[in-house]
Amino acid sequence: MDFTSVQGKVVIVTGASRGIGEAIARVYAENGMKVVLAARSKDQGENVVKEIKEKGGDAIFVQTDCSDADQIKNLVNEAVNHYGKLDGIVSNAGIGMGGFPLHEYEDEDYDKIFDLNSKAVYIGMKYAAKAIFETGSKGGFIINVASIAGIMAQRGQALYTATKHGVVGMTKAAALDYAPYNITVNAICPGYTKTSIFGDIPEVAMEMFAKDCPAQRMGNPVECAYLALFLASDMSRYITGAAIPVDGALSAGHQNVTQWKHPEIRNN
Ligand SMILES: NC(=O)c1ccc[n+]([C@@H]2O[C@H](COP(=O)([O-])OP(=O)(O)OC[C@H]3O[C@@H](n4cnc5c(N)ncnc54)[C@H](O)[C@@H]3O)[C@@H](O)[C@H]2O)c1
């Protein structure tokens, strides 16, 4: 594997102050990409940039509320003004919401979750695609962080599921638009990944998530970041319009009960 093709590429990562976005920003910077980190929290975002720079990376922070279309437009402008071009965007900022049946949502929850999880992805793609064209990137890429909820519905997550199915659909449609112009568009679909999106859920509940997963553990944010690096590289130019799970087989199918004929073959 040769990731030298990503060196010098300019990329925006939204929701980069923590969790999956932070891991992606760090892995990109470690591999020589110029990273524009966006998030609402100035302190957290600037701290990640500081640590990236201390390790020799090149990054800037642009405080951005991705629920606001104008702020995303500004983010893309800032990236182009600072680095002179744009090669890619990772629209990762998102919120979870739910854990209860559809009728228990508040009416205003719809706009709240759609503004960030869905509209921000659309606006990010729109302005980033324009900038990728206008600044003459060779090998542009768009990555949207969806979810396994973009592939299969989650009980108690009606609105979240709707936003993430929308992201997968937009990703595929945009891939068709841009495939002739060598701009790839893909979705990363994390399964249960250890980040603060779970809030203050007790450890015992986290263990239940791990047990629910065929791989018997939760994912680590950096496991999504490695896929994001591959999708930014020239090695993945023929992969576009894909929604790729990083989920320990959680979305692969239903876990029927099985009985091994020869369990002794297992060494762990
Ligand atoms: N962690 C999981 O298990 C999991 C599973 C599937 C999908 N995802 C998706 O991965 C993405 C990242 O989630 P995470 O788990 O790292 O969550 P997280 O809560 O740890 O991080 C979310 C990031 O988004 C930022 N953010 C939130 N609202 C924002 C806004 N309005 N404007 C700008 N930035 C904002 C936060 O500051 C933070 O940097 C989300 O889109 C989420 O839906 C996560």
CATH classification at residue 112: 3.40.50.720
Q: Cα separation of 114 and 190, whole Å?
A: 19
Please answer whether residues 226 and 255 qualify as being in contact, where contact means their C-beta atoms are separated by less than 8 angstroms.
Answer: no
Please answer whether residues 171 and 243 qualify as being in contact, where contact means their C-beta atoms are separated by less than 8 angstroms.
Answer: yes
Pocket lining: 92 vs ligand 1, CB cutoff 6 Å: yes
Range of the domain at 131: 4-265
Q: Angle, nearest 10°, between helix axes 120-134 and 69-83?
A: 30
120: closest CA among 98, 97, 144? Answer: 144
Q: Residues 28, 83, 127, 160: which is the catalytic one?
A: 160
Please answer whether residues 79 and 56 qualify as being in contact, where contact means their C-beta atoms are separated by less than 8 angstroms.
Answer: no
Pocket lining: 65 vs ligand 1, CB cutoff 6 Å: yes
Nearest CA to ligand 1 atom 19: 197
Distance 95 CA to ligand 1 centre (A): 5
Distance 220 CA to ligand 1 centre (A): 14
pLDDT score of 199: 81
pLDDT < 70 stretches in the chain: 268
pLDDT score of 202: 86
What tokens were used for 223? 């496991």
Cβ atoms < 10 Å from Cβ of 238: 7
pLDDT score of 203: 87
Q: Annotated catalytic, 160?
A: yes
Pocket lining: 39 vs ligand 1, CB cutoff 6 Å: yes
Distance 143 CA to ligand 1 centre (A): 14
pTM as predicted: 0.97
Burial class of residue 87 in the structure, from the number of CB atoms within 10 Å of its CB (0-12 exposed, 13-18 middle, 19+ buried): buried
10: closest CA among 92, 82, 72, 93? Answer: 82
Distance 96 CA to ligand 1 centre (A): 8
Pocket lining: 15 vs ligand 1, CB cutoff 6 Å: yes
Cβ atoms < 10 Å from Cβ of 16: 32
Residue 66 CA: which ligand 1 atom is closest? 32
Q: Where are the beta strands (DSSP E) in the chain?
A: 10-14, 34-39, 58-63, 88-91, 141-145, 184-190, 243-246
Q: Which residues contact 236 (CB under 8 A, 6 or more apart)?
A: 184, 230
- Give how many domains the chain has, as a whole number: 1
pLDDT score of 268: 63
